[in-house]
Amino acid sequence: MTATPVSTDPAASAAPAAARTSAARTGGAFGPRQLLAALGPAARRLDPRHQLRTPVMFVVWVGALACTVLAVLHPSAFAWAIAAWLWATVLFANLAEAVAEGRGRAQADSLRRTRSTTVARRLRADGTEEEVAGTALAVGDLVVVEAGQTIPGDGDVVEGVASVDESAVTGESAPVIRESGGDRCAVTGGTRVLSDRVVVRITAKPGETFLDRMIALVEGSARQKTPNEIALDLLLAALTLVFLLAVVTLQPLAVYSGQPQPLVVLVALLVCLIPTTIGALLSAIGIAGMDRLVRRNVLALSGRAVEAAGDVDVLLLDKTGTITLGDRQAVGFVPAEGVGVEDLARAAQLSSLADETPEGRSVVVLAKDAHGLRGTTVAGATFVPFTAQTRMSGVDQPADGATPARQVRKGAASAVLAWVREHGGSPAADVARAVDEIAGSGGTPLVVAEAVDGAPARALGVVHLKDVVKPGMRARFDELRRMGIRTVMITGDNALTARAIGEEAGVDDVLAEATPEDKLALIRREQGEGRLVAMTGDGTNDAPALAQADVGVAMNTGTSAAKEAGNMVDLDSDPTKLIEIVAIGKQLLITRGALTTFSLANDVAKYFAILPAMFAALYPQLDALNVMRLHSPQSAVLSAVVFNALVIVALVPVALRGVRYRPAAAGALLRRNLLVYGVGGLVAPFVGIKLIDLVVALLPGF
């Protein structure tokens, strides 16, 4: 029986990668094509049920409807112009959200093209197989997947090891290894097995897979408002109510003064004074923040986590597989006295040919790279594979002409030194010192020994294994430090090894011999002191801590438990990606704050445009406030309404692209925000309204 993928086109698998690469290269460019594509969805959002979600824009919608009715009952060019531009204001607000969601929908479409409907090979209880549709799989089902077949659903490998093409999800063309019994057992539905055979236990229901959730999130349909958004919505609603009361009270005063104002003018004044700009762009800012994460191959399962990332104080990183490569690697040969380093390397390589562990393979690679040695054997040689019981591997070579019989062993220091004693030898003092020095530095010593033609065995030297720190880690941690984030490495290793790795990586602190309970306690302690904590991890033992952290970033290579516990998943499995996540979180907060500042500053300028125009005829003293010298009261009101609508469109690219974030102190960021967006928000309306007024003054009736 075989699984039958409906679509295994490599071009389709590469589609999301190309889409994300192109988007990243352009920075999410905003242009006329996007505007035109978003006009339809924006028009559909004129439905009052949709407008009710944003109180500020609902007030504008009601005002536009009221002005339209008034224009029908008492037609005039002024009334129709005000009504048209109020509808344009609502439409432009919808346009901002539609463009943001449209970009996510384009990514979702490319992801959908990678999904394939499969016929899965489900294992029965008696060990036989049956063909079922991938959509019929339930949580806990075991399915067999072989080379060339598509994995039918999210799950964990419970048997076997295979090379898997995950480019459909991650955009990374290089295959990855997935194997049972470790932290690299999780597989994603829609990815393809390239070699070997695995048995996968399904962990997600159809329609709730990782890819399904990713599609829903990038479309924006699964995005919930964050606490900060809700708080800002309440503030904007309160400001709207205050301005509504202020405008309502103006009419009795105007009537008392003998100059009642047309209802159209009052509606225009209300719309111009309430914070329509930020009200129109608020949703787009949040959607764009999630979109920027997806473009960097990070799936945020919570908008709240994106905001929290902008305020993170402490970052906890798991050592194995996060800061380090995860497998100990051979980094050097330390020969015994009287033994050449090349002789030691040759013996170590020969004795590692039957060692299939990552450590054994790294010894072979080091001997080849550092000394140009190739694995060669004598005919008739017997290989001794590595086992957990013996903790050694090696080779037995028979006598061949002038070459005597020889036994070579490599393995854990205690096991090989015991083998030396069993074969009549005694460990040399310099070998024992090398073992102690390597262990003391946080490394792992492997001893290489030989016994030639029945003579007493002797130790040839030591292979230095160490947990290799991933390239560029120190520079990334330095950057985090400049952001004001303290880094803590957490590991189950002993304190000596942990300290050595921590110093090499450049972290600020180390928690050694950590249990899952220790990680939880550390996070709760930091949170109890008022700090926001972020953590990256990939193992099942990391799941409780990932769930407790304010920002839990699970590696895509990790277990399903880790990915379910975190509120973000890094598809690239790069722990230092948190630097970009933090920057995006800060950018989101700064963008929202900057545009809120700009919006409120705008209202001050519009106040100077409309109020003098309304009452200057009655109170000539107010003409001093008409600093823009606008043409007439009607042109002043219409110019303010037109500017109010157009500024939303002008700021859509800023909302989507985000205000650029540079690592700096909070005070410096605040000063820059006030200078650029506060002062800019005051100046821009004066210039914009005056220019629009010059055009409006040329129209008949104004």
Annotated binding site: 355, 359, 386-393, 410, 538, 542
Token reading at 195: 């070699």
619 contact partners, CB below 8 Å, separation of at least 6? none
Cα-based distances in Å from 186 to 35, 136, 155, 223, 432: 40, 20, 6, 25, 41
- Cβ(524)–Cβ(548) under 8 Å? yes
Q: How many CB atoms lie within 10 A of CB 377?
A: 12
- Residue 552 φ/ψ, nearest 5 degrees: -110, 110
User: Of all helices (H) and strands (E), which one includes residue 408?
Assistant: strand 406-412
- Cβ(335)–Cβ(367) under 8 Å? no
DSSP 400: B
Token reading at 639: 């110019």
Active-site pick, 154, 156, 165, 318:
318
d(CA 177, CA 185): 9
β-strand pairing of 155-165 with 186-187: antiparallel
DSSP 155-215: EEEEEEEEEEE-HHHH---S-EEEETTSSS-EE-TT-EEEESEEEEEE-S-TT-SHHHHHH
DSSP three-state, residue 409: strand
- Residue 124 φ/ψ, nearest 5 degrees: -80, 170
Task: Please give the annotated binding residues for Mg(2+), written as ranges.
Answer: 538, 542
- Axis crossing angle, helix 666-673 with helix 578-615, rounded to the nearest 10: 30
- Cβ(597)–Cβ(277) under 8 Å? no
Token reading at 282: 């608020």
* Of 555, 518, 515, the residue nearest 535 (C-alpha): 555
Tell me the residue type at 606.
K
Beta bridge partners, 198, equal: 145, 160
User: Of all helices (H) and strands (E), which one includes residue 469?
Assistant: strand 458-469
109 is catalytic: no
- Residue 399 φ/ψ, nearest 5 degrees: -65, 140
- Residue 114 φ/ψ, nearest 5 degrees: -85, -15
Here the contacts of 124-132 (C-beta below 8 Å, separation 24 or greater) are 129/1, 130/1, 131/1
* Of 700, 635, 604, 644, the residue nearest 87 (C-alpha): 644
β-strand pairing of 155-165 with 197-202: antiparallel
DSSP three-state, residue 307: helix
- Residue 160 φ/ψ, nearest 5 degrees: 95, 180
- Enzyme catalytic residues: 318
